[in-house]
Chain A
Amino acid sequence: MIKVENVVKSFEGRTVLKDISVEFGTGQTNLIIGRSGSGKTVLLKSLVGLHDVDEGAIYYDDVCFSKLDFRARKDIRRDVGMIFQGGALLDASTVAENVKLPLDLFTEQSEEEKMERVNTCLKRVNLEHAHHLYPSELSGGMVKRAAIARAIVMNPRYLFCDEPNSGLDPQTSIVIDNLISDITKEYNITTIINTHDMNSVMEIGEKIVFIYEGEKWWEGSKDDILHADNQELSDFVFASAMAKRAKKASK
């Protein structure tokens, strides 16, 4: 479980996150949605400690993560996996080397054990044939899958995904969504996904938090979202012409 309590974050006098409190449960896919520039990425980066919050606290289970120093955070970070928008694979390393890196740095496993774990993770994301390829040789979907493999290689308890579907076609997006959702259930981890892809929301959104201009505007499930009595949320959810037509037809 990850708990956010009254978090405030500003950049050069501009408040980006305004008193946000929310709880993300274990074993479920939690989605943070909102328009571009609403503060989703800042919230996600604050959750993982890439930004220090100005006020408030962030708890990883019972530990107040935001109050820990760099060294103390290191222990928790071994339990954290993150998938970045662009994959963030190391360009100079192959897929297998990228996935193996956390094992190299933080475990005492033998090379054979490490490679076995790497192969298991790559197989899990259907990339076992690509272990020798460099990130520049991969397609967008493959980069995301390799990033997922790297994120889960240490058996994390917390998984963060920053717009995992950006730049992907709808079919590949569904594959990535389902993969993240399945992994969440399989490993019973706390997964937080940052997205503005409504397909993801309707596909895997067990808990959804809507951020509007730096504030938490709404929270609920994918079943609630269609009937929510909230103008800004409705404007966001039904922004596309297709969604508008679908809503009209359902009425």
Chain B
Amino acid sequence: MFKFFESIGKYTLLMQKVFSRPEKRSIYYRRIWHEMEALGLNSIGLTAIISIFIGSAVTLQMAITLESPFIPQFMIGYATREVMILEFSSTVVALILAGKVGSNIASEIGTMRITEQIDALEIMGVNSASYLILPKIVATVFFFPFLAIFSMLIGIGGGYGIAVLTGIMNPMEYIDGLRYCFYTEEITYALTKMVFFAFFITSISAYCGYYAKGNSLEVGKASTKAVVVSSIVIMICNLVLTQIIRT
């Protein structure tokens, strides 16, 4: 228990250091663009593959499960849309990104720690926490919501594609379902969640890497810890935000 509170304290102090005034803004802007490419753009492929397959699978499952003369076919499109927008594109994609981006951040910063690159920055007089972590946080908080929108579109597109390819339902009914009872607040809710998830994935992973000690084995452990802790925080955060925003 003591260790848990110690970690919370260390995390808070690190964040205080991260959000202190940057040395030179122009350098940070450059780093933000670089991180957007490394952490955001490079995740588009994975997000697309997973979203298209999940979107297709959800549509197939719905078509099989809701096969009843009392349930209109357009409900399949409606259910697919709800699943993709409300949970998949934000929560599940965030969990996947916690694995990809989180482990990347923790291992990168952890390696910098054990090879004394962070010490080198400190000795130069650079606020290493801010220099290394702030651009990553800004980049993911800004970019991950776009990944969520992308995931929604691709996933829903995947559902349409499978309807056309397999003929399991009428594609026009699927589109009707997509339009049925659509509230833009649902998108806002999903994107708001993604902003929080992006912050937690990046900051927790950076924290795990920043305090890594010892050798490459420890960096591996830090990387695993980053993914596990980020995933748990995402699940808790999802529950809390759903309760606050949706009720």
- Measured CB to CB, the residues of A under 8 A from B are 45, 48-50, 73-75, 77-78, 80, 82, 84-86, 88-91, 101-102, 104-106, 160
Contact = CB atoms under 8 A, between A and B. Distances in A.
Contacts of A50: 119, 122-123
A74 B123 CA distance: 8
B168 interface: no
A74 B23 CA distance: 11
A88 B124 contact: no
B109 to A, nearest CB: 11
11 contacts: A73-B125, A77-B122, A77-B123, A77-B125, A80-B124, A86-B116, A88-B119, A105-B124, A106-B23, A106-B125, A160-B123
For this complex, into which size category does the number of interface residues on chain B fall? 10 to 19
B242 interface: no
A147 B154 CA distance: 47
Contacts of A75: 125
Contacts of B125: 73-75, 77-78, 80, 105-106
Which of the listed residues B112, B115, B123, B126 has the most CB atoms from chain A within 10 Å of its own CB?
B123
Interface of B: 23-24, 27, 111-112, 115-117, 119-120, 122-126
B117 A105 contact: no
Contacts of B119: 45, 50, 84, 88
Contacts of A80: 123-125
B14 to A, nearest CB: 14
Nearest to B22: A105
A-B pairs, 4 with minimum CB distance: A77-B125, A88-B120, A88-B116, A74-B125
B117 A89 contact: yes
B126 A88 contact: no
B126 A105 contact: yes
Given A77-B124, A82-B123, A106-B125, A88 B115 contact: yes
Nearest to B24: A105
Nearest to B119: A50
Contacts of B111: 91
A64 B2 CA distance: 36
B117 A91 contact: yes
Contacts of B126: 105
Nearest to B122: A50
Contact of A88 (B23, B27, B117): B117
B120 A84 contact: yes
A85 B126 CA distance: 20
Given A74-B125, A84-B119, A105-B124, 15 more contacts: A49-B122, A50-B122, A75-B125, A77-B125, A80-B124, A82-B123, A84-B120, A88-B116, A88-B120, A89-B117, A104-B24, A105-B24, A105-B125, A106-B124, A106-B125
A104 B120 contact: no
A94 to B, nearest CB: 13
Contacts of A73: 125
